[in-house]
Amino acid sequence: MFKSTKEFDSAMKDILVQIRDGIAVNSLSSSIDEGDFNAALAECVDRRYLSGLSYQRTMDGKPHFSLTDVRVTYSGLTFIESH
Domain boundaries, the chain: 5-82
Check residue 26 and give its pLDDT.
84
For residues 79 and 16, give the distance between their C-alpha atoms in angstroms, rounded to a whole number: 9
Report the CATH fold assignment for 5-82. Arc Repressor Mutant, subunit A (1.10.10)
CA distances from 17 to 12, 22, 38 (A): 9, 9, 16
Length of the chain: 83
Q: SS3 for 15-65, per residue?
A: HHHHHHCCCCHHHCCCCCCHHHHHHHHHHHHHCCCEEEEEEEECCCCCEEE
Digit-coded pLDDT (tens) for 68-81: 999 999 999 999 99
Digit-coded pLDDT (tens) for 31-50: 889 999 999 999 999 999 99
